[in-house]
Amino acid sequence: MVNDVGEIENLGDKIMATLTLNNDNLLRNALRGNSLFSALSGSILVIDARLLADYMGIEATLPLIVIGIGLLLLLHDQFNL
């Protein structure tokens, strides 16, 4: 049992620091996953635009290529490569 008000505040600060650290890691992991998915999607859209267009039943591949390049440029901008 905690008897001192200072100890309670210190305990609260420790809990808050732990929660903040966990939230930062969660956000960092979510952004990493988003970047990985963007890289994979952009690469597939650029490399296999014709296959995807045929699968989707559309004739134009240019929009798919443009979206793929846009995703790769976004990834480039995120990591300042």
Reported as a single tens digit per residue, the pLDDT across 31-42 is 888 888 999 999
Per-residue pLDDT tens digits for 10-24? 766 666 666 666 667
Number of structural domains (the chain) is: 1
Distance CA 12, CA 14 (A): 5
Tell me the pTM.
0.64
DSSP per residue, the chain? ----HHHHHHHHHHHHHHHHHHHHHHHHHHHHHHHHHHHHHHHHHHHTHHHHHHHHT-S--HHHHHHHHHHHHHHHHHHT-
Q: Report percent pLDDT > 90 for the chain.
A: 46
Query: Mean of the pLDDT values across residues 38-55?
Result: 95
Which pLDDT value is given to residue 26?
83
State which residues form the domain around 33. 5-79
